[in-house]
A and B are shown apart, each in its own frame.
Chain A
Amino acid sequence: MNDMTPPTREERVEKLKGLGCSRKRVEDVRFTHGKGNYVDDIKLPGMLHGDFVRSPYAHARVKSIDASAALALKGVVAVLTAKDLEPLNLHWMPTLAGDKQMVLADGKVLFQGQEVAFVLAEDRYIAADAAELVEVEYEELPVVTDPFKALEPDAVELREDLHGQDSGVHGKRRHHNHIFLWEAGHKEATEQAISSAEVVAEEMVYYHRTHPCPLETCGSVASMDKVNGKLTVYGTFQAPHVVRTVASLLSGIEEHNIRVVSPDIGGGFGNKVGVYPGYVCSIVASIVTGRPVKWVEDRMENLMATAFARDYWMKGRISATKDGRITGLSCHVTADHGAFDACADPTKFPAGFFHIMTGSYDIPVAHVGVDGVYTNKAPGGVAYRCSFRVTEAAYFIERMIEVLAIELGMDAAELRAKNFIRKEQFPYHSALGWEYDSGDYHTAWEKALKAVDYEGLRREQAERVEAFRRGETRKLLGIGLTHFTEIVGAGPVKNCDILGMGMFDSCEIRIHPTGSAIARLGTISQGQGHATTFAQILASEIGLSADSITIEEGDTDTAPYGLGTYGSRSTPVAGAATAMAGRKIRAKAQMIAAYLLEVHDGDLEWDVDRFVVKGAPERFKTMKEIAYAAYNQAIPGVEPGLEAVSYYDPPNMTYPFGAYVCVMEIDVDTGTHEIRQFYALDDCGTRINPMIIEGQVHGGLTEALAIAMGQEIAYDEIGNVKTGTLMDFFLPTAWETPNYTTDFTETPSPHHPIGAKGVGESPNVGGVPAFSNAVHDAFRAFGLRQVHMPHDQWRIWKTAHDLGLHG
């Protein structure tokens, strides 16, 4: 008899696996069985393989290219050079940042690893052999890898194609290697605040060049069907719809004849937002040969040539009263963009959202100027697991706070608490023009400090310093603090677009007669678990179990138009579209239920998975019943079927925040470190799936660890990449990864339909300053103010050495 008892309300809620449920990731079954389907798994009949001839030089003129030996190799189909692409006007391509980039070297090369020729062969091995046989004659030119030197009057002109152009899409260029100057805030008022301040701290904070290094490198398979005129492109695209539009504009093929598919993507982290020469070459090669063409880069190519991240020299000044109230903040950035400006930012923001640099603090006046500069390095400047330039901004302010604390002789935790934006100030208008949606920083901060016993740690640290001075230990203790505020979820169409496409996103839902559903979105998961979490959002909205909802993304023939996944925008934008589309479904379902129950629709109320007649709980129709009715009953005034689509233009960004504490032991003699404790409190608004949040935080912190403690793309003075393999480019394994303690507060976004803010990037944004501040803090007692990341062993050793700690 038991199983006849109707389920309780709690049981019905639980069955939905909706918001707040730590539902297991539905994607993992195929991944753990080796059944993922990545670009390199795609094999089409008659497929050719492409490989690049790349420049060994950072700056050189290309005198000649002789492909005869390569073409003589059996199985080689063609060798494409800029000359072959020129008649199609495809030897250059536009970048997302309003610049243009060579697809294949047109007369000269500007960075090591630049694409010079594209070899096309019957198999991948022949292509690699043939690439070696292409003879390129170079004439070396002077190399500039330092953005400050690039701006010197007599610096060699890198971009001869721009010769004489004294303005670009972002305004005036004041030097032949200058790209733009972008400013925000009030310069004069800021200068005045700083010059009249009681205390001023000034520092150059460098956020070094690094790389997102997703496990799967970039690649594409293009297939032109010459009979029906359709072009299909499979690729590692974080924004497949935008790729389709760009491909149409570049190739002249009408957009409905192009299908772009992002299959499973093995991590993106911003590396797969841009358009790369490899994509263009595979498409052109397929159009020319009429055969499918695959291009997949190897690890070294990925690290050398596809988009890097950061490389910001941030000169900061922060002013305060004697008792530690911040009165002004100024920053000038020298931004090294490499050879082409290929940053992936919303069009109107050449420095992304760097002007979130006032962070979590109520700073009355601020100013920022960013100079973009060309150098002989790879192009890029993508948002590596962060919203556009937000990690740079968070690192900058969290370092400046520490430096100011030193200047004031004040505890850095206290200085933060003193200057936080208070709860009642939200929505808060920052000095640099943002409207922070919601936050409760003091609560999070106090919770974090209490959790780690902050005062106890400081006591232990002081004892350690004494013991060190007495010669009893060679290890120092660093306490790394961070309170970060992000800006994610780009973004309102009125000011955010990419190549003119407004940064809305979309969801289209189809309910099947038996009460299951498919929802398609304009985003694309690269490991974030969209198939799991978007089904949960929908389950709570429409009352069908998440297990009965398929989520599909990444095929432009079936998914609604969207701007893709990066900048933590999927939940804030597409997640909102999902909730809104779900609400449309529910509205129609209400009319159907009213008809079935023979009441007025106003007499119904929604209860978990059903509409119930108000005051008569025994009279109801479940969503499952309603779905069936939508297809098998003629309901007057209601169209058959149950579908909805929503395009969501967010009214504002969302502002996730968090409080992190890192406790680190540093061996001053070897420069090695050990992370004893890492506490991460994240507030991402409404929590959709706590388990996925925890996973995202663990992953993001580990990337932050890598960046802060060793990961870099380093060049020597003649432009050779010194860190081109995973032997030298630091990718942590389980061994280097510490234990993390995660925690949360929950301050919903007031403008998001379900109050969610996005979390995937928070740990990288907050983690980097937390690790770096721990290193700095360990040496604070010995007079350290600022050293540059990455804090690898020899640099930590050098810090200790320069401070005289080696006797």
Chain B
Amino acid sequence: MIPASFEYHRPTNLEAALATLKEFGDDARVLAGGHSLIPMMKLRMAAVEHLVDLQAIADLKGIAIDGGTVRIGAMTTQHELIAHQGLAQAAPIIREAALQIADPQVRYMGTVGGNVANGDPGNDMPGLMQCLDATYTLAGPDGTREVKARAFYEAAYMTAREDDEILTAIGFEATGGGWAYEKQKRKIGDYATAAAAVILQKDGGVCSGASIAMTNLADTPVWAAEAGEALVGTACEPDAVGRAVEAMLARIEPTEDNRGPVEFKRHVAGVILRRAIERAWSRA
């Protein structure tokens, strides 16, 4: 478990970080909390000759809530997401999800930017951000651009981010209504067997809006518009929930691993999603 040798860079501002990325091209990668990248390097599944640590760039940290708009700096740790009172008001689903990621040690180090940029289908934050309809800000050599979370993920470890871009922030509108993040895992420190992020709006006893995403059931997170639509206009009664679940199951493509065979994962996905919808509805 010893990585191959690498050069370590610690720029103090974004421009310097971007310049280093440009200089070393393919041979450079940014380092955030290191809790996905460093294990890969130790397993020698990732070889990185130049590691560009973002820790010293103050601008990338912090949570700002301005009216209904939330902006989270990429280098904000998962622990900080959990501890932030304003965020718990604006988007309580984030705390509920973050508490189900790994363990406190990992969450003290792991960042939200690293979690969403990583592109690992096991990560919980990408599905969550799709559920929230978040927007990622990417800074590159030619300036910044914005990409929707729902358009960011292409395949496992493949995203819309270019190699020379750095994800600087995540933005979304504060959510109202009910929410739930439901996750089944084998143990603390495990990635999801199936996880569901659900946000529902309720208006006069009827569901007026729904956003549903699931994690680790395909090579990207799965946000299914049809699943949400199946609930809109209903009172989230069992039939409607069943249709939402069916819509989602039609979209997922789980693969067999040590967590279990495909048949099991599909079944659990349905159970987890049903529970998440019920809980979100009870809070709406």
Interface residues of A (CB under 8 A from B): 124-125, 128-129, 132, 298-300, 669-672, 710, 714, 722-723, 726-728, 730, 732-733, 735-736, 792-794, 797-798, 801, 806
In the complex, whether B193 has a CB less than 8 A from a CB of chain A is: yes
Specify which chain B residues have a CB less than 8 angstroms from the CB of A129 in the assembled complex: 4-5
What per-residue 1/0 map shows which CB atoms of B1-36 lie under 8 Å from chain A? 110110000000000000000000000000000000
Closest to B268 in A: A670
**Assembled-state Cα–Cα distance A413/B138 (Å):** 65
Closest residue on chain A to residue B44 by CB atoms = A132
Known: A300-B1, A670-B184, A727-B191. 9 other contacts (CB 8 A): A129-B4, A129-B5, A669-B267, A714-B258, A727-B190, A733-B188, A793-B259, A794-B259, A806-B267
Instruction: Tell me, in angstroms, the Cα distance from A60 to B74 when the chains sit together.
Output: 48
Q: Cβ of A710 and Cβ of B186 under 8 Å apart?
A: yes
A contacts with B: majority SS: loop
Q: Are A735 and B2 in contact (CB under 8 A)?
A: no
Q: Closest CB-CB distance, B54 to chain A, in whole Å?
A: 25
Query: Do B271 and A298 touch across chains, with their CB atoms under 8 A apart?
Result: no
Of A728, A798, A801, which is within 8 A of B258 by CB?
A728
Find chain A residues with CB under 8 A from B238 CB: none
Measured in the bound complex, the distance between the Cα atoms of B40 and A727 in whole Å is 13
Q: Chain A contacts of B108 at CB under 8 A?
A: none
**A797 CB contacts on chain B under 8 angstroms:** 260, 264, 267-268
> What DSSP secondary structure best describes chain B's contact surface?
loop
Q: List 19 contacting pairs A-B, 8 Å CB cutoff, sorted by A.
A: A124-B2, A128-B2, A129-B4, A300-B1, A669-B267, A669-B271, A670-B268, A670-B272, A722-B258, A728-B258, A732-B187, A735-B188, A736-B188, A793-B193, A793-B260, A793-B268, A794-B264, A797-B267, A798-B264
A147 to B106, CA, bound (A): 41
Residue B261 at the chain A interface, CB threshold 8 Å:
yes
C-alpha gap A268/B186 in the complex (Å): 25
Chain A residues near B261 (CB, 8 Å)? 794
Instruction: Specify which of B5, B187, B268 is in contact with A730 (CB 8 Å cutoff).
Output: B187
* B44 neighbours in A (Cβ, 8 Å): 132
Q: Which residues of B contact A669 (CB under 8 A)?
A: 267-268, 271
Q: A792's closest neighbor in chain B, by CB?
A: B186
- Nearest-CB residue, chain B, relative to A299: B1
Measured between beta carbons, the chain B residues less than 8 angstroms from A728 are 258
A723 contacts which of B189, B258, B264 (Cβ < 8 Å)? B258
Minimum CB distance partner of A474 in chain B? B271
The 10 closest A-B pairs by CB, nearest first: A794-B260, A128-B2, A735-B188, A298-B1, A794-B264, A728-B258, A669-B271, A733-B188, A797-B264, A736-B187
List residues of chain B with CB under 8 Å of any chain A CB: 1-2, 4-5, 44, 103, 184, 186-191, 193, 258-261, 263-264, 267-268, 271-272
**Distance of A297 Cα from B259 Cα, bound (Å):** 27
Tell me which residues across on chain B come within 8 A of A298, comparing CB atoms: 1-2
Distance (whole angstroms) from the CB of B216 to the closest CB of chain A: 13
Given contacts A727-B190, A797-B260, contact A125 B267 (CB under 8 A): no
Q: How far is the CA of A794 from the CA of B259 in the complex (A)?
A: 7
B1, B186, B188, B268 — which one has the most chain A CB atoms within 10 A of its CB? B186
Across the interface, which residues of B come within 8 angstroms of A726, CB to CB? 189
For A806, list chain B residues within 8 Å (CB). 267
What chain B residues lie within 8 Å of A722 (beta carbons)?
Answer: 258
Contact A710 B187 (CB under 8 A): yes
The answer to whether A727 touches B184 (Cβ under 8 A) is no
Q: Assess whether B184 is in contact with A793, with CB atoms less than 8 Å apart.
A: yes
| A806, closest chain B residue (CB) | B267
In the complex, what distance in Å separates the CA atom of A797 from the CA atom of B268? 9
Chain A minimum-CB-distance residue to B260: A794
CA–CA, A186 to B189, complex, Å?
A: 50
* Contact between chains at A670 and B271 (CB < 8 Å): yes
Which single residue of chain B is at the shortest CB-CB distance from A793?
B186
Could you tell me the distance in whole angstroms from the C-beta of B211 to the nearest C-beta in chain A? Answer: 24
The residue that A125 contacts in the complex, of B2, B187, B189, B268, with Cβ under 8 A, is B2
